[in-house]
Each structure stands twice: as C-alpha cells, then as structure tokens.
Amino acid sequence: VGGGGGADDGADGGVGGGGGADGRAIDDGGRAALRSAAPIDAAPTEGKRGASKLPPGMWKQVALLTGSQFIITAGFGVVVPVLPTFAAELGMGAAGVGAIISAPSFMRVLLNMKMGMLADEKGRKPLMVLGTLASAAGGIGTAFAGGLLTLIPFRLLVGLGSAASMAGSSAYMADLTAKAIDHRAKLLGVQQAVIACSFIAGPAIGGWLAELYDARTAFLVVGGAAAACSLGYSFLPETLVKRRPRREGEAKEKVERKKSWMQLLADKSQQSVVSMQGVLALGYSCQLAVVPLHAASVWGATPGQLGLMYSTASLMGLVAAPLGGWASDKFGRKGVIAPAAILAAIAPLALVFTETQAAFYGAMLCWSLGTSLMNPGLTAFAADIAPDSQRGQALSLSRQAGDIMFTAGPLGLGLLAQYATHGHAEALLLTSGATVAVTAAFVMRAKEPRRAQKA
C-alpha cells in the first residue's frame, strides 16, 4: 500500500532515493552552496540528457541498494496487520497503535537535519550500515516490551536508526540517479515496484505469524530484517566525494549552509514538495492507524485477513510504480503527481461508505494505485530541485514534513477514530480532504523542474 518513511515502510512512501547533488566540495567561502540553492530550476549539472544507456555498474549498485531495502520493508510489512493485536496485549487501543507508529517518527523529526548534514560530511554508507543496526536492536527490543514505559525507548531507537539510514540511502540513490537524469524517475519507479513486492509478502507473513505464534514474533522478524539490510549495505561502495577541508573557510561555510536552508524553505517549489510529502504521510498514517480498525469494525477482519488485504493492494505497485516513473520522465512530474494524488484521495472517502470485504479491497486497490503512480514522480521532483552541494541535507528537509506528519498523524487519527462521534469515518474524511487541498496548492505553486520537462 505504500512503503514510506513513516510507515517505516513506505510510503514509505516512499522508500528510496531523491536528491539532486553529487556531494562535491563547496568552493571557498561557500559561494557554490548559494548558487546551487537559489536557481532551483537550473539546468542539471550531472548526467547527459538524452542518454539511452545507464553508466557501467549502476544497475549492480541500484540492485544491491534496492535488495537491502526490500528486506527491511518486508520486515515492516510483517508488523502492519499485528498492530491492533499487539496494542491490545499492552492494554492500549487505537491511541496505542498510534503511539507505536509515532514514536520512531518523533525521533526522526529531531534528527533528520543532523543526519542529513552527517551524510554530506561523513558519507552515505556509515549512516546506512549503523542506522539499520540501531533499527534492528530497537525492533527486537520492541518484541520484549511489557508496557508503554519499556516500549517507547525501543521505538525511539528504531527512529534514531531509521533517521540515519534514510539520510544515507536517499542521498546514495540520488548520487546514482544524478548520473542518468533522464532515467531518474524510471529507476525510482523500478525500485519502488521491487519494494512493493515486499509489501505483498510482508503483511501476509505477519498475519500468519500472529495467528500461528503471537504478535511479538513479528517484531523479532523486523529486527532480523533490519540486521540483514545492514549487511547488504556493507557491500556498497561510498558515493560521497570528500574534499580536504580548508581551515580558513570552515566557519564561513557553516554560515552559508544555514543560509541555503533558509533559501530552500523560502522557495515555493520546495514548500510544495514538503507539503505533498506531509499529506502522503497522512495517508500512510490513516492506512496503519485507522483502516485496520475500520475493517475489523465493518466486516470483522482478522489479522490474517488484514494481511491478505494489504498484500493484495500492494500488487498494484508492481505495475503502477514503473508506469508512474516512465510517465513522469516523459511528460513531466506535475502532470503525473497531481492526478495520482486525487486518485489516492478518493480511496479514504470511498471507505467511509463501504460495507463489504470486496468493497474494502476495491478502495485499497485504488489507494495503492494512486500512491504508486505518484511516488516516483514526487521523489524525482525532490531530487531535481535539490541543491548540488547539499544533497543529504536537502532530502532531509523533504522527509522532515513526512516525519512530522507521521509523528502526529497516527496518534491524532487514532484519537479521532476512538473518541469522535463517527470515529473512523471522520478520520477517513479528514485524510481525503487534506489530500485534495494540498494537491491543489501543489498544482498552483510548484514550478516544473526544467530537468524533468520533456526534451
């Protein structure tokens, strides 16, 4: 249904790359940082437009990066259908489900910017390897939590690890795709399709484990998956090109970096991407915190049935993500992002009026289609407008809105679903309306990146 960051999945939303810089040195006094941050729609500085072939060795690196992410995303998919059962074991209701999801996102909100700077200064690979190890420890610790006080520290550790690994992996993927600008969205679409496969298997396995053993077993699987992902990352070469620091320019360079952050936040296209990432995370929050409870209430869905529903919906990503990437490269980012977002907004609205299992499946397939078509273009858009000398930091800004929403979204929607007059319906309507409003603002305010336009 969407791997995204907050979903620790998916959508994740998107999982995978973004960025538009190569990590090269900032020139003396940091002037290059200002030049690369200000002209957001400047022509690309890397890669050859119209190139029909990918650089040698790129597929191998993309495959290894994607394979590692497949493993960790499958691990998270295992957890999705067991969240209500696990929260009940700890004596918590819908708000408890929201807390389990929100705690890692809260930690990412605190650390995203710092991890982005570390990715630009220390390299991508160390953050990827060490971050996933921290997430592995947090996932295993979650399985042994006996209550809220012991649960939260381990969920925060998961957030620390994912902040580090996501900062490194998104910049890493951007480093690779910067060498093939005209194929960026297609590569991201293929990557997201592969990761969608993990959401086909993950939820079904999670539901099966919960019914065969218990909900805690799923979190042990998540920890093991993260450890395996760290091992996969260790085989990748570093992509950041470091420079020898110049003492006289270090202090001024730090000032210029802060200025470039302010320039990023002042740009309308950056604001639009950040907003879209936020509303995408709101949708994932709703899928995790509200939809399972709504399905259980309307047609008595069990963990196994929920797992099967999410896996079936994720099948859509196998076709839609590559198609969305191809269309985004050919016709431009906005022309794909906007209609796909509206399609995703229809799904939660439809769920308000569904009363059968078959209708639930149809709505979830619609939701998956919209997010799968949108994700490659939105990730590529963020990559296209990222400043050339601060890739990790710029992509952290894009993720920050999603993590802020994923911190507040699951808990807020869970409370709304638990205490509002019509509960689940009001949470679903809020998600749908917010998606439509933010998409309209994106269409009016965002400027199509020149590098994304049809040649």
Q: Is the pLDDT of residue 43 over 60?
A: no
Greater pLDDT, 259 or 263:
263
Buried/exposed 23-40: b ≥16 CB within 10 Å, e otherwise: bbebeeebebbbbbbeeb
- Region 326-348 average pLDDT: 94
Provide the pLDDT confidence category of residue 201 given band limits of 50, 70 and 90. confident
State CA 146 to chain mean position distance.
29
Q: What pLDDT is recorded for position 65?
A: 82
Among 32-36, 367-371, 392-396, whose mean pLDDT is lowest?
32-36
Instruction: Return phi, psi of residue 421, to 5°.
Output: -60, -50
Map tokens 């998919």 to a residue. Answer: 77
**Residue 241 in contact with residue 22, Cβ under 8 Å?**
yes
Q: What pLDDT is recorded for position 92?
A: 74
Q: What is the C-alpha to C-alpha distance for residues 124 and 444, in angstroms, rounded to an integer?
A: 35
Q: What pLDDT is recorded for position 345?
A: 97
CB burial of residue 293 (10 Å; 0-12, 13-18, 19+)? buried
Instruction: Return phi, psi of residue 414, to 5°.
Output: -65, -45
CB burial of residue 359 (10 Å; 0-12, 13-18, 19+)? middle
Among 28-42, 103-117, 228-242, 397-411, whose mean pLDDT is lowest?
28-42
380 Cβ neighbours under 8 A, 6+ residues apart: 18, 177, 184, 185, 188, 325, 328, 329, 333, 452
Greater pLDDT, 160 or 198:
160
Domains and CATH numbers, the chain: 3-37+55-452 (1.20.1250.20)
Q: What pLDDT is recorded for position 260?
A: 60
Tokens of 414: 């869970």
- Region 346-366 average pLDDT: 94
| Rg of the chain over all Cα atoms, to the nearest angstrom | 20
- Region 364-384 average pLDDT: 91
- Region 376-404 average pLDDT: 79
Q: What pLDDT is recorded for position 54?
A: 67
How many CB atoms lie under 10 A from the CB of residue 355?
9
Q: What pLDDT is recorded for position 10?
A: 37
How many CB atoms lie under 10 A from the CB of residue 330?
14
Q: Please tell me which of 30-39, 41-50, 187-196 the model is most confident about, judged by mean pLDDT.
A: 187-196
Q: What is the C-alpha to C-alpha distance for residues 52 and 74, in angstroms, rounded to an integer?
A: 32
Between vectors from CA 328 to CA 327 and to CA 334, what angle results, nearest 5°? Answer: 125
Whole-number average pLDDT of the chain? 78
Q: What is the C-alpha to C-alpha distance for residues 330 and 324, in angstroms, rounded to an integer?
A: 10
Greater pLDDT, 9 or 190:
190
Instruction: Return phi, psi of residue 178, to 5°.
Output: -65, -20
Q: What pLDDT is recorded for position 388?
A: 63
Q: Of 61, 18, 22, 59, give the one whose Cα is nearest residue 44.
A: 22
Among 4-18, 117-131, 402-416, whose mean pLDDT is lowest?
4-18
**Residue 268 in contact with residue 445, Cβ under 8 Å?**
yes
CB burial of residue 216 (10 Å; 0-12, 13-18, 19+)? middle
pTM tops 0.85: no
How many CB atoms lie under 10 A from the CB of residue 147?
10
Q: What pLDDT is recorded for position 311?
A: 78
Q: What pLDDT is recorded for position 316?
A: 85
Q: What is the C-alpha to C-alpha distance for residues 216 and 206, in angstroms, rounded to an integer?
A: 10
Provide the pLDDT confidence category of residue 347 given band limits of 50, 70 and 90. very high
The per-residue pLDDT for range 14-33, each reduced to its tens digit, is 333 333 333 333 233 333 33
The per-residue pLDDT for range 204-243, each reduced to its tens digit, is 788 788 778 888 888 888 888 888 888 888 888 898 876 5
